[in-house]
Structure 1
Amino acid sequence: MESRILFICTGNFYRSRFAEMLFNYLAEKEKLPVKAFSKGLRLSKKNKGPLSSYAENYLAENYNELEISTRMPIPVTRQDFEYYDQIIALDETEHRALMKQFFPTEENQITYWNFADDYIEAPAMVLPKLEEKVKAFVADLKTKY
């Protein structure tokens, strides 16, 4: 049976989408029985289109075989906490507060990473670090399967 991972961020436009696509690309190459998806805790009308150009450009430049998803952002629902085997929020500072607001009983049931949004830290700094974290996560899962 395939394990399910959910990456969440604020708008499901930048960090979580990047993590989802990179994770699935790497996990598929390793033939891991794990699939990732991503959603957002508070979608924004400011996001233009389905995916941040920072994430899209980074993935296109560094992973030319990776298929870029063009689906629109999707909000997190209460059912997600039952459906996914593991949920990872991309920035503890930002997302723990949103979890307390929207899903207080699930706040401590998820894993928190620490990757700031693009208005706090430049994507040129964040994306390489997030890429390394996702690679390490896949490598760790590889030892479990």
Structure 2
Amino acid sequence: MSRILFLCTGNYYRSRFAEEYFNHAAQREGLRWRADSKALVRDLGATGNRGPISDHALALLAAHGVPMRAEPRRPVRVDAPDFLRYTRIIALSRREHAPMMQAHFPEHAADIEYLEIGDLHIEAPEAAIARLARDLDALAGELRAASPP
């Protein structure tokens, strides 16, 4: 089983949607991939996030027909060993997360793939998540095409 890691600032909204949506798609399509998600911010308490997962993420997962696999966990931050555990690592905003990678994990910064999905203060959740879902569907298609028959 190959593993993919989605990174965002607080592991509360975008990366959590990506993790659940991707795992649902991978299971549905028989892909031998599993996703996790983590936060780049070093102090999770400073994010101001309330609860284990964003209400926007939960509502938009439901709108896309993706059930939560289990009771939502609390956000988790990424640490240096994580960068060696995953086949692919995708941060959800180059503009926001590339500087965080350079500041906290410069030795791994060049290995990160980036999308450009804005956080809540940048773009409306419906638009951001619609684009993220399309990006994740494209990723699943890419992985399916690369899988041996």
Would you say same fold, with TM above 0.5? yes
- Give, in angstroms, the shift of residue 105 of structure 1: 1.1
* 8 Å contact from structure 1 (residues 21, 68) kept in 2: no
How far, CA to CA, are the matches of 1:64 and 1:27 in structure 2? Answer: 12
- Give, in angstroms, the shift of residue 144 of structure 1: 1.1
The alpha-carbon distance between structure 1 residues 29 and 46, as it changes in their structure 2 partners (threshold 3 A), is: same
Calculate the aligned-residue CA RMSD, in Å: 1.3
1:7 aligned onto 2:6: yes
Residue in structure 1 matched with residue 107 of structure 2 by the alignment: 105
1:31 aligned onto 2:30: yes
How far, CA to CA, are the matches of 2:66 and 2:103 in structure 1? Answer: 39
- Give, in angstroms, the shift of residue 65 of structure 1: 4.3
How far, CA to CA, are the matches of 1:108 and 1:23 in structure 2? Answer: 23
| Identity of matched residues, % | 40
TM-score of the two chains, using structure 1 as the length reference: 0.95
How far, CA to CA, are the matches of 1:69 and 1:37 in structure 2? Answer: 15
How far, CA to CA, are the matches of 1:37 and 1:68 in structure 2? Answer: 13
TM-score of the two chains, using structure 2 as the length reference: 0.92
SS of the aligned residue for 2:35 comes to strand
How far, CA to CA, are the matches of 2:16 and 2:67 in structure 1? Answer: 17
The alpha-carbon distance between structure 1 residues 58 and 100, as it changes in their structure 2 partners (threshold 3 A), is: same
1:134 aligned onto 2:133: no
- Give, in angstroms, the shift of residue 62 of structure 1: 2.2
Count of residues paired in the alignment: 144
Amino acid at match of 1:11: G
Amino acid at match of 1:46: G
* 8 Å contact from structure 1 (residues 18, 55) kept in 2: yes
